[in-house]
C-alpha cells in the first residue's frame, strides 16, 4: 500500500522552514527520500533505516519514527534550489530490500 | 562518467503497436527497476530485476514485458495490451542490499498518436 505524504504542496519564502511527512499503514524498515525537478529524474537525498540515525543532506534532515510508522523531512533555511517535488519510498522489511513503494509526492515552491 | 541512459527521450505509439524503451547503465549495479509516473503522481513500480536473467513483476506489470540478458541493460516493452500507455517512464538501478540508493535515468515520455 502506498505511503501517504503530507502536505501535498507547500509554498515557502527563501530562508523559511518546512516539514514533509511520509506515513505508512505498514511497519517501515527503510525510507528513501528523493527530490525531482520538473521534467527531470528524481535525485537521491537520503535513506533512513530502522534503528538508524537521523540523516542530513546539506540543510535538509530527516527522522524516522518507528512507533508512528512515519518519516519526516525537514527543510531548514530553505533555498531557491530546494524547489521541486519530494518523494518518499518505503520498504516494509529486510526481505523487500530496495523494492520501494513511493508516496504521491509533496510539491515545494521556494520563492525569493 | 558513470550513469544511466534512457532512450529515446520522446516516443510516440500508434494503436496496436508494441514499443520498446531502452535503459543502459554503466554503474556496475546489480538491480534495475522500471517505474511509471503519471502527471502529478508518484512513481509506480512496473518490473524490477535483481540479477541477470531474472526479474519480478511490480505493482502494475500488466501490459508490459522486460528482459535482463545483460547486467547493463533492462529494456521495457510496452505492448498493445497496455490500454493507457501515455506516461513518463523512469528506469533506475542500484547495488544489491538494504540502504542502497536508486539512481535514475532522465526518463522517456511516451504518447499515443
Task: Assess B31–A contact: CB distance below 8 Å, yes or no.
Answer: yes
Chain B CB contacts of A28 below 8 Å: none
Beta-carbon separation of B96 and A94 below 8 A: no
Give the angle A51-A56-A61 at the CA atoms, nearest 5°. 85
Q: Taking CB atoms and an 8 Å cutoff, what residues of chain A touch B59?
A: 101
A19 by Cβ neighbours in 10 Å (0-12 / 13-18 / 19+) ranks as middle
**DSSP alpha helices (H): ranges in B1-113?**
none
B42: helix, coil or strand?
Answer: coil
Write the pLDDT tens digit of every residue in A53-111: 666 667 789 988 888 899 999 999 999 999 999 999 998 888 787 889 999 999 999 99
* Pairing mode, strands B108-112 and B10-13: parallel
Collect all residues of chain A within an 8 Å Cβ-Cβ radius of residue B45: 99-101
Which chain A residue has the Cα nearest residue B59?
Answer: A101
Q: What are phi and psi of A58, to 5 degrees?
A: 60, -125
Tell me the backbone φ, ψ of residue B5, rounded to 5 degrees: -115, 125
**pLDDT in single tens digits along all 113 residues of chain B:** 679 999 999 999 888 899 999 999 999 999 999 999 998 888 999 999 999 999 999 999 999 999 999 999 999 999 988 889 999 999 999 998 778 899 999 999 999 88
Amino acid at each position: 500500500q502506498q505511503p501517504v505524504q503530507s502536505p501535498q504542496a507547500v509554498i515557502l519564502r527563501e530562508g523559511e522552514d518546512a516539514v514533509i511527512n511520509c506515513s505508512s499503514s505498514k511497519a517501515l524498515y527503510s525510507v528513501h527520500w528523493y527530490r525531482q525537478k520538473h521534467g527531470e529524474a528524481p535525485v537521491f537525498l537520503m535513506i533512513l533505516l530502522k534503528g538508524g540515525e537521523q540523516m542530513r543532506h546539506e540543510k535538509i534532515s530527516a527522522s524516522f519514527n518507528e512507533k508512528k510508522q512515519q518519516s519526516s523531512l525537514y527543510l531548514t533555511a530553505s533555498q531557491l534550489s530546494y524547489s521541486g517535488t519530494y518523494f518518499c519510498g518505503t520498504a516494509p522489511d529486510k526481505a523487500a530490500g530496495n523494492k520501494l513503494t513511493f508516496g504521491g509526492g509533496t510539491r515545494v515552491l521556494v520563492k525569493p | 562518467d558513470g550513469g544511466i541512459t534512457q532512450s529515446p527521450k520522446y516516443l510516440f505509439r500508434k494503436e496496436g503497436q508494441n514499443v520498446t524503451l531502452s535503459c543502459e547503465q554503466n554503474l556496475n549495479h546489480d538491480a534495475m527497476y522500471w517505474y511509471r509516473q503519471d502527471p502529478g503522481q508518484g512513481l509506480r513500480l512496473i518490473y524490477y530485476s535483481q540479477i541477470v536473467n531474472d526479474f519480478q513483476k511490480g505493482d502494475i506489470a500488466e501490459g508490459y514485458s522486460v528482459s535482463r540478458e545483460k547486467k547493463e541493460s533492462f529494456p521495457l516493452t510496452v505492448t498493445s495490451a497496455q490500454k493507457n500507455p501515455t506516461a513518463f517512464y523512469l528506469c533506475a538501478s542500484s547495488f544489491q542490499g538494504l540502504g542502497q540508493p536508486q539512481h535514475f535515468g532522465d526518463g522517456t515520455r511516451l504518447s499515443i498518436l
